[in-house]
A and B are shown apart, each in its own frame.
Chain A
């Protein structure tokens, strides 16, 4: 192992990197863009106010009081829909995911219900209002849940009795810091960004340089296989740390993320680099053309990205896909980073590190064994 040779290779790799503007963009800016876009889309707002459309077909004092009561709950911004329009068509035309329709005989039915209750001291036949909703719309179930809560509150008030509160649930988070979607998302993006850069970096460097004949020339210099591989790994590690710092900086500045920064971050970034550089070396040897090696890398990378819990929790997937996710190396990088940065669970982080470390050792050693620096493969 010659440190001067490794150093020379790293310098050339870094110069090649920052002089290729497209590569710099995709390596550094693209993950940041993902964080900004997804972080903004899924930003949680406390006491969020929902848009709600109401069509009052009754137009009586009681129906207007109901609308006012919903408005006073301060959970909805009310938009009135004209009684003359077809509510279903109106919802489709205006892309509305929920319309509350107060039926024509609402006041009469309500008075009957109140009278029935007064005579028999039972709750009586409840008065129905129609909830016209789009089940395919994202967030409609949340809005419906809030509406039900508001209506429950209105019902309680109308009953005239004080609310019976014998059992309440007090939320206590197991996490020390506030947890939002962005705290889930950032570690996943770090893992994904390091994976793609390491995998494609190894594939591009080896396959492309081999195809161009650069490796053939390097075979006639004192550089050994160990020097070559180590310099590639170190170069990828330096870039991985740089992109991680950029992603974390943006996340802190824009979203004020609550993530713990500790030594595990460096450990998982290093294991991520070793795993996917090793995998890249194997792919390069198996698929000698640069294009087919890149296609093979794509075929591995995309399923892993979406099934390893990078963009959404694995628990949201069907059972059989959850089992499949636990076979993927990126899953353990994601889980390990979240254990380290979100829940600060060192035991869980260690367990993930051992699993991904074993994988990294196997593929890396295999990659070294099959990588050659002689001309038979050039």
Chain B
């Protein structure tokens, strides 16, 4: 028989009182300073119940600090954060049973098996109703049930971490960079799990520096750079409101094409595939450029004209380039190619 603790009784009271909150998360003028340096600088936003909200930004932008304040791991320097109507600095032990957290760099006890890990965390939440088998099936770890944690690959560890975050059937799930360091296949496996959670109507708070992850999963995205939110909205809204230009991709074997476009006053750049990428404000400019290239006798083998994607919007808003490093994507100062 489980002990009836004061906290459990208190949780029941709070759950009833906070049921009618419109917002799952409310952040108001949140600031976090480390020795005077603002890691999070006066940010405000809300997250509705059932929404998938993503904080998107490079390493060092303040995403993890923000999410760790919201999920009660850290304390803010100033500002207010409420989760399900409760102040995170005052009601930590009432909030915890109602949230699930996959922290950045999740790790568990090396010598404990997958099933034992889930049983352990289930016991920490004193939750006898946790269906361990269902959780294992949800994250597709059925054939690894008896495997010790230290023998799991990175992707399997992250999937186990998501399952651990769900042992208490939380109302809000925090996923801090859930696919960082995973290979593309493992990443897609984790996305599948997250899409499953989305279908179940869970409120998900996600932090990521992968654009495609935010575009695929999030209902709304807040772009974070240097501790501040620079833009917020659905991926489509962000693109529409910031995509007042066209992106032209030229595949050419003729070296003259680059020079011709440059002399026209545009700012072409080579991307990682060797395509020439040009940002143009009007469709007329596209026609003019193509005609000029033909008139000069140069040629190209491929052409693509499109609106900018979320990554390009991000680059425009944060004025930064992104480079794949060994530990993830790092923001670096942009070398301007635009006029």
B92 CB → nearest A CB, Å: 9
- B103 interfacial contact with A, CB 8 Å: yes
Per-residue A-contact encoding for B104-148, CB less than 8 Å = 1, 0 else: 111111111000100011011110000000000000000000001
Given A4-B2, A376-B75, A216–B110 Cβ distance below 8 Å? no
Considering only CB atoms, which chain A residue lies closest to B8 in the complex?
A: A222
Give Cα distance in the complex from A370 to B124, angstroms: 23
0/1 string, A5-18, CB within 8 A of B gives 1:
10110011001100
From 79 to 137 in chain A, residues with beta carbon under 8 angstroms from any chain B beta carbon are: none
A5 near B126 with CB under 8 A, answer yes
**CB within 8 Å for A378 and B116 given contacts A212-B107, A213-B105, A223-B124:** no
CB-CB under 8 A from B96, the residues of chain A are 220-222
CB of A8 within 8 A of CB of B73, answer no
The interface on chain A, measured as residues whose beta carbon lies within 8 A of the other chain's beta carbons, has a size of 28
**Is A46 located at the chain interface by the 8 A CB criterion?**
no
Q: Which residues of A are found within 8 Å of B73, using beta-carbon distances?
A: 216, 219-220, 374-375, 378
Is B316 interfacial (CB-CB < 8 Å)? no
For B107, what are the chain A residues with a Cβ–Cβ distance below 8 Å?
A: 212-214, 217
Our pick among B2, B7, B75, B109 for the contact of A222 (Cβ within 8 Å) is: B7
Q: Tell me the chain A residues, 1-40 only, with Cβ under 8 Å from chain B.
A: 2-5, 7-8, 11-12, 15-16, 19-20
In the complex, residue of chain A having the shortest beta-carbon distance to the beta carbon of B101: A220
Cβ-defined contact, B124 with A19, below 8 A: no
Known: A5-B124, A213-B107, A375-B74. A220 touches B116 (CB 8 A): no
| Docked complex Cα distance between A190 and B5 (Å) | 39
Q: Would B93 and A222 count as touching, CB distance under 8 A?
A: yes
Task: Say yes or no: is B85 at the interface (Cβ < 8 Å to chain A).
Answer: no
Cβ–Cβ contact B111 & A20, under 8 A: yes
- Cα A123 to Cα B334 in complex, Å, equals 109
Known: A4-B3, A5-B124, A213-B105. A19 touches B72 (CB 8 A): no
Q: What 11 additional pairs, Cβ within 8 angstroms, besides A4-B3, A217-B164, A220-B72?
A: A2-B3, A12-B112, A12-B116, A15-B116, A16-B109, A16-B112, A20-B111, A212-B107, A221-B121, A222-B97, A222-B125
Cross-chain pairs A/B with CB under 8 angstroms, 13 sampled: A2-B3, A2-B126, A11-B120, A12-B116, A15-B111, A20-B111, A213-B105, A216-B105, A217-B106, A217-B108, A221-B121, A222-B93, A222-B126
Interface residues of B (CB under 8 A from A): 2-3, 5, 7, 68, 71-75, 93, 96-97, 99-101, 103-112, 116, 120-121, 123-126, 148, 161, 164, 174
